[in-house]
């Protein structure tokens, strides 16, 4: 059976790296693989981190493994990248845990809000045997989870008003990933959770299709959301 590897990216959001073993390099051969990252641009720290990872892999193997890095949705969105890794079309991927949870119910634990006491608590969990057990649930789906990385802590932006109490969320149309727990959380807080692809966020804010975004700080910066949203609640 072909085995692909995934790195799960957990941010108080989760992220992961998946990798494929079916095309290992033979003697004298340079093994080239495409890395499907989240659909972020070249300024995003997740992309920059993956570039660094590729450089480290190449250096550690004397150039035997050449990791080609693609950003800005060149290989599709996260769902398409994940499916490509599973099929072996892409050999390596960095995928948000929200999408990986479609294959593993255990991964959904990272979708629950306010589950961790603080950032340090979260990191301890990602480095624990519990995290290894969660990654192991991907084996039966032709995916190998290499590990978790942290993308950031969620915040909510909007262009209408400061959000300092629950009532301030009422009626705000907030973009989230197409993940049921995220969307329902926004609905229960009084807003309206709207699924939207990462690359459509800026235009959606400009055209008032959405009022704000559920995202991490690096995402707000990389997409220049500060140009179209005035308020950010951590």
Report whether pLDDT(212) > 50.
yes
Residue-wise pLDDT tens digits, 120-152: 898 999 999 999 999 999 989 988 888 888 877
- Mean pLDDT for the chain? 81
Output 129 or 108, whichever has higher pLDDT: 129
Cα 69 from Cα 34, distance rounded (Å): 6
3-state secondary structure of 189: coil
Read off the pLDDT band of 169 (50, 70, 90).
very high
pTM score, whole prediction: 0.74
- Looking at residue 31, its pLDDT comes to 57
Mean pLDDT of 73-83: 81
Mean pLDDT of 179-200: 90
Neighbours of 30 (CB within 10 A): 11
Contact of 144 with 107, CB cutoff 8 Å: no
130: CB partners within 8 A, 6+ apart: none
Report whether pLDDT(96) > 50.
yes
Mean pLDDT of 21-40: 58
* Chain length of the chain: 234
Residue-wise pLDDT tens digits, 46-77: 788 888 888 888 899 888 887 777 887 787 77
| Listed range (35-39, 104-108, 205-209) with the worst mean pLDDT | 35-39
- Looking at residue 1, its pLDDT comes to 36
Cα 72 from Cα 75, distance rounded (Å): 8
- Looking at residue 192, its pLDDT comes to 97
Read off the pLDDT band of 202 (50, 70, 90).
very high
Which DSSP state fits 213? E
- Looking at residue 77, its pLDDT comes to 78
Strands (E), 37-164: 65-70, 92-96, 143-150, 154-158
- Looking at residue 131, its pLDDT comes to 93
């Amino acid at each position: 059976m072909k085995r692909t590897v995934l790195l799960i990216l957990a941010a108080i959001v989760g992220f992961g790296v998946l990798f494929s073993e079916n095309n290992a390099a033979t003697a004298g051969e340079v093994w080239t693989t495409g890395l499907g990252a989240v659909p972020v641009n070249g300024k995003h720290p997740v992309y920059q981190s993956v570039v660094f990872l590729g450089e480290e892999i190449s250096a550690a193997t004397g150039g035997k493994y050449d990791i080609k890095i693609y950003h800005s949705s060149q290989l599709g969105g996260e769902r398409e990248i994940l499916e490509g890794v599973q099929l072996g079309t892409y050999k390596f991927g960095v995928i948000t845990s929200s999408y990986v949870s479609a294959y593993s119910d255990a991964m959904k634990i990272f979708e629950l809000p306010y589950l961790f006491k603080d950032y340090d608590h979260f990191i301890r969990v990602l480095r624990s045997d519990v995290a290894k057990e969660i990654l192991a649930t991907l084996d039966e789906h032709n995916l190998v989870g290499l590990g978790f990385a942290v993308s950031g802590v969620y915040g909510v932006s909007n262009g209408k008003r400061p959000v300092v109490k629950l009532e301030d969320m009422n009626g705000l149309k907030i973009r989230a990933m197409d993940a049921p727990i995220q969307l329902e959380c926004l609905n229960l807080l009084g807003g309206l959770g709207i699924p939207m692809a990462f690359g459509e966020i800026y235009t959606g804010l400009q055209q008032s299709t959405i009022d704000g975004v559920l995202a991490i700080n690096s995402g707000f910066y990389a997409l220049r959301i500060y140009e179209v949203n005035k308020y950010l609640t951590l």
